[in-house]
Amino acid sequence: MVLAVDKRIGKHAILLVLQSEAEESISLPPHWKYCTGKVGAMDSQKVVSAIETAAKREGIIRTNGYRETHALYHAIMDALSGVTRGQVQLGSLMRTVGLRFAIVRGNPYEEMEEGDWIAVALYGTIGAPVRGSEHETIGLGINHM
Amino acid sequence: MVLAVDKRIGKHAILLVLQSEAEESISLPPHWKYCTGKVGAMDSQKVVSAIETAAKREGIIRTNGYRETHALYHAIMDALSGVTRGQVQLGSLMRTVGLRFAIVRGNPYEEMEEGDWIAVALYGTIGAPVRGSEHETIGLGINHM
Amino acid sequence: MVLAVDKRIGKHAILLVLQSEAEESISLPPHWKYCTGKVGAMDSQKVVSAIETAAKREGIIRTNGYRETHALYHAIMDALSGVTRGQVQLGSLMRTVGLRFAIVRGNPYEEMEEGDWIAVALYGTIGAPVRGSEHETIGLGINHM
Amino acid sequence: MVLAVDKRIGKHAILLVLQSEAEESISLPPHWKYCTGKVGAMDSQKVVSAIETAAKREGIIRTNGYRETHALYHAIMDALSGVTRGQVQLGSLMRTVGLRFAIVRGNPYEEMEEGDWIAVALYGTIGAPVRGSEHETIGLGINHM
Amino acid sequence: MVLAVDKRIGKHAILLVLQSEAEESISLPPHWKYCTGKVGAMDSQKVVSAIETAAKREGIIRTNGYRETHALYHAIMDALSGVTRGQVQLGSLMRTVGLRFAIVRGNPYEEMEEGDWIAVALYGTIGAPVRGSEHETIGLGINHM
Amino acid sequence: MVLAVDKRIGKHAILLVLQSEAEESISLPPHWKYCTGKVGAMDSQKVVSAIETAAKREGIIRTNGYRETHALYHAIMDALSGVTRGQVQLGSLMRTVGLRFAIVRGNPYEEMEEGDWIAVALYGTIGAPVRGSEHETIGLGINHM
Ligand SMILES: [Mg+2]
Ligand SMILES: [Mg+2]
Ligand SMILES: [Mg+2]
Ligand SMILES: [Mg+2]
Ligand SMILES: [Mg+2]
Ligand SMILES: [Mg+2]
């Protein structure tokens, strides 16, 4: 199993999330799926929920069954680790986020047997609940589907 | 204090780290400094050390005094949180990383009084110490200098 | 001090918690105490509270004084670590639990001077707040009383 | 998707790991696979390695490809969270473990589409590197394959 | 850069926070600033907020701009780590704190170029939301301004 | 159970650890025991070991049996949480500590039935393995014996 150079699923997800909505254009490998969205919250639950809802609504993961929801959930948790860097908490630590997210699904490996994987990328700001009192933050979670 | 659109220090750092060495070209705001490098390790200490050494050698931070070393250290820790997602451990959890890093220094805010900040971006792979048994990983740490 | 083979307090607690209410029957060493119960929650506080309340109501720990409450509290925290695996959070990470718990009190060592210890075992499911979107989870905390 | 009563993969794994080698006998659902083993270590890496090696040698997961190794790895990490309760470290925190492990693979849900899942159960003692200065510990990790 | 013996900013902060309000008297190095206060909460956000508000009201940090707020915020997080020892959570883990805090600002190093640093010290009790079911707790966070 | 004003075990431990060896003089409540010591390390295991060894050598805890060793161990872990603030790691995160420690044993409550408790206080510096590249750090762990 080797990560194919032009099928870096995490890199694709990060590039998608870094684009402004206007400029969003990226050429993904054939048969890959993706969606993007935005969420602002002092409540980490709201971030999880926004990403799961988008993934199901846009057909990135199956809406019934648990398997794909489970894969996505842990990818989101990993992405939130990068965003929060230590404690996966927002409002309870007096901070808020304004995030764009990208979800990409596909097989990043040369071998077909590796099957589908999912990448969740988050980019935006984190800081005090005061306009401007914030800096950038990023997170990436990758999981097998 | 407002993050200036074209002075997103974290975005600049991530774009730098996502480029291959060949294509590395990015226009940073005037007076900003940056450097990039690579490190592979099963030993988190080696990652910290490689980044600190590069930052001092390339003149991103002062080589004497503690203040700037302290700022960089915590930015590295935050970036490692994103890479490791939970426990900031590599070999002791039987995993290894192959990372590119970018360090960017500058003021990302509209207001001059915000002074210099530092961004450390990490991108690469994490996985078992077996070629190909790995997926991508990313981390970003931002701190005031 | 040696853990006595037939006085494994953690094993007894886990076996208790794995039984359905109907089949609950276990022979504990003489003078040991135990109780079992159930709690479902998106709120980790509610889990802690249910266990503490049961332990006091069933006479496993003293209702007045702090010492035994303190011992139980940290055993619960340890058990919750196993259930949550990383962040000891439920609803704020968009997940819910349905748990059975068992609390066992006794001396698991050969030597009488080791005194009483407490074991808290948790078993059940953790997952999204959607019926069936869940998998099993387990936790065990052990502390000296 | 509903967890089937007699296909509780985590419960099966825990019951397996609680048995002594002599009494090991358990009837798993048809087509499920499992193996058990032992590992003692002050080095968490050695625990991970022992479980991965057994899983591959006993044919629980594929020896080539990354997908199944990745699924197992994160199940092991989750199980180690329960064992270590906070910091997933052993020797560096001056403690050692003596563990039995069980790995079970199968589909615990009513629906066939949920596919295979893996459960890693750990049971044993944790404590100071002095005979008898230890108490029991348990961990369970569950992941989709 | 060397920590000056009589300019131990953390030691000064801890001594301040250990004093009762009545006896509060401490001689700080010239040009240093400090303030003290009290906060009781089951809500970690309330602790953060009380400290930030005091620091701004008493002129320890600038009320506008982000830089100094950011420095203080991470010092508070570090202090809360000591108070909570693992999960930076209070009410969600069924515990409450009654804390005094001290904030000290100054340069603890021999070299002038090290500039200002900030120390946040917390001292008080942590425990169950029942009078007397608590023990002492302490935390110290130090950051460059 | 009420913490007695003049029997604050944590406060006593912190005051002891803040004193230089020369000035060490503190009047503890009758029948209390304490000891102090120093340890410098890039290896967290060495810190744990130094404290356990001193506690046994000075008769603060029993040298045989597990119960008191267990109580001390978790108090040390809690104190190390304050010192390390997040990951309880030193050398693997490229940092070193120079610490004084104090261990105090006694009953801090009005009620005799609360029995003995133990406090472990740590104070010193943490930073890069370069002289002077460090700031102060503190930690306190309290447990029932
Ligand atoms: Mg992974
Ligand atoms: Mg920050
Ligand atoms: Mg223990
Ligand atoms: Mg899961
Ligand atoms: Mg620091
Ligand atoms: Mg406690």
Tens digit of pLDDT for each residue in C12-29? Answer: 999 999 987 666 677 899
What are the DSSP calls for chain F, one per residue?
--B-GGG-HHHHHHHHHHS-TTT----PPTT-EEEEEEEEES-HHHHHHHHHHHHHHTTSS-SSSSHHHHHHHHHHHHHHHHHHTTS--SGGGT-EEEEEEEEEEE--BSSGGG--EEEEEEEEEEE-SSTT-EEEEEEEEEEE-
Residue type at position D35: C
- D10 Rama class: left (phi>0) / alpha (psi -120 to 50) / beta: alpha
Strand pairing class (D96-106; D117-127): antiparallel
Distance F103 CA to ligand 6 centre (A): 16
The contacts of residue C18 (CB under 8 Å, 6+ apart) are C123, D11, D14, D15
- Taking CA atoms, F17 is separated from B92, C95, F121, F124, in Å, by 32, 43, 7, 9
* Residues from chain B contacting residue A142 (CB–CB below 8 Å): 135-137
Domains and CATH numbers, chain F: 5-19+40-144 (3.40.1510.10)
What pLDDT is attached to residue D4?
83
Contact assessment for residue E104 and residue E9, using Cβ atoms and an 8 Å cutoff: yes
Q: Are C108 and D135 within 8 A, CB to CB? A: yes
What pLDDT is attached to residue D20?
73
Q: Are A18 and B11 within 8 A, CB to CB? A: yes
CA atoms of E28 and E8, how far apart (whole Å): 10
What pLDDT is attached to residue E87?
96
CA atoms of D112 and D61, how far apart (whole Å): 19
Half-sphere exposure of D5 (CA within 13 A, CB side): 2
Task: Tell me the per-residue pLDDT of A4-43, one tens digit each, with 9 for 90 and over.
Answer: 878 999 999 999 999 876 666 778 999 999 999 999 999 9
| Residue of B136, B131, B133, B101 lying closest to B119 (CA atoms) | B101
The rounded percent of chain A whose pLDDT value lies above 90 is 88
Task: Tell me the per-residue pLDDT of B58-85, one tens digit each, with 9 for 90 and over.
Answer: 999 999 999 999 999 999 999 999 999 9
Could you say which of D86, D92, D132 has the minimum Cβ distance to residue F45?
D92
What pLDDT is attached to residue B3?
87
What are the DSSP calls for D70-91, one per residue?
HHHHHHHHHHHHHHHTTS--SG
Residues of E near A (Cβ–Cβ under 8 Å) read 43-45, 48-49, 52, 66, 69-70, 73, 77, 87-89, 92
Task: Tell me the per-residue pLDDT of A90-143, one tens digit each, with 9 for 90 and over.
Answer: 999 999 999 999 999 999 999 999 999 999 999 999 999 998 999 999 999 999
| Residue of A103, A106, A108, A102 lying closest to A6 (CA atoms) | A108
The burial of E98, by beta-carbon neighbours within 10 Å (0-12 exposed, 13-18 middle, 19 or more buried), is given as middle
Chains in touch with D (3+ beta-carbon pairs under 8 Å) read: A, B, C, F
Q: Are F65 and C144 within 8 A, CB to CB? A: no
Could you say which of E87, E93, E134 has the minimum Cβ distance to residue C48?
E93
Q: How far is C99 from chain F (nearest CA, A)?
A: 27
What pLDDT is attached to residue D17?
96
The segments of chain F whose pLDDT lies below 70 read: 1, 21-24
| Residue of D111, D115, D119 lying closest to D2 (CA atoms) | D111
Strand pairing class (E96-106; F33-41): unpaired
Give per-10-residue mean pLDDT for chain B (145 aa).
86 93 77 96 97 98 96 98 97 97 97 97 96 96 98
With residue B69 as reference, give the H or E element that holds it.
helix B67-84
What are the DSSP calls for chain C, one per residue?
--B-GGG-HHHHHHHHHHS-TTT----PPTT-EEEEEEEEES-HHHHHHHHHHHHHHTTSS-SSSSHHHHHHHHHHHHHHHHHHTTS--SGGGT-EEEEEEEEEEE--BSSGGG--EEEEEEEEEEE-SSTT-EEEEEEEEEEE-
Distance B70 CA to ligand 5 centre (A): 6
Q: Are D91 and F45 within 8 A, CB to CB? A: yes
* Residues from chain F contacting residue E138 (CB–CB below 8 Å): 10, 14, 82, 121, 138-140
Which residues share a beta bridge with B104?
B34, B119
Contact assessment for residue B28 and residue B106, using Cβ atoms and an 8 Å cutoff: yes
Q: Which residue of E has its CA nearest to F126?
A: E142
What pLDDT is attached to residue C111?
95
What pLDDT is attached to residue E14?
97
Return the C-alpha torsion angle C69, C70, C75, C77, nearest 10: 110
**pLDDT by position in tens, chain D (length 145):** 688 878 999 999 999 999 876 666 778 999 999 999 999 999 999 999 999 999 999 999 999 999 999 999 999 999 999 999 999 999 999 999 999 999 999 999 999 999 999 999 999 999 999 989 999 999 999 999 9
Which residues share a beta bridge with D135?
D126
Could you say which of E89, E134, E135 has the minimum Cβ distance to residue C88?
E89
Structure-model confidence comparison of residues F56 and C130, the more confident one: F56
* Residues from chain F contacting residue D87 (CB–CB below 8 Å): 87-89
Coil vs helix vs strand at B35: strand
Q: Which phi and psi angles does B60 have, rounded to 5°?
A: -75, -40
CA atoms of B104 and B14, how far apart (whole Å): 10
- Taking CA atoms, F133 is separated from B63, B116, D139, E114, F42, in Å, by 11, 20, 40, 11, 14
Which residues share a beta bridge with F119?
F104, F142
Which residues share a beta bridge with F33?
F105
Distance F78 CA to ligand 3 centre (A): 12
What pLDDT is attached to residue F135?
98
* Residues from chain F contacting residue D45 (CB–CB below 8 Å): none
CB neighbours of residue F22 within 10 Å:
6
- pLDDT at position C48 over 90: yes
What pLDDT is attached to residue D41?
96
CA atoms of C133 and A32, how far apart (whole Å): 25
Contact assessment for residue E45 and residue E88, using Cβ atoms and an 8 Å cutoff: no
Contacts 24+ apart (CB under 8 A), C15-18: C15/D18, C16/C102, C16/C104, C16/C121, C17/C100, C17/C101, C17/C102, C17/C121, C17/C122, C17/C123, C18/C123, C18/D11, C18/D14, C18/D15
CA atoms of D94 and F73, how far apart (whole Å): 9
Q: Determine the residue among D63, D66, D87 to mutate to test chain B binding: the one whose Cβ has the most chain B Cβ atoms within 10 Å.
A: D66
CA atoms of D25 and D19, how far apart (whole Å): 8
* Residues from chain D contacting residue C133 (CB–CB below 8 Å): 1
- Nearest ligand, measured from the Cα of F137: 5
Contact assessment for residue F30 and residue F108, using Cβ atoms and an 8 Å cutoff: no
Q: Are A88 and C91 within 8 A, CB to CB? A: no
| Residue of D63, D57, D78 lying closest to D10 (CA atoms) | D78
The segments of chain E whose pLDDT lies below 50 read: none
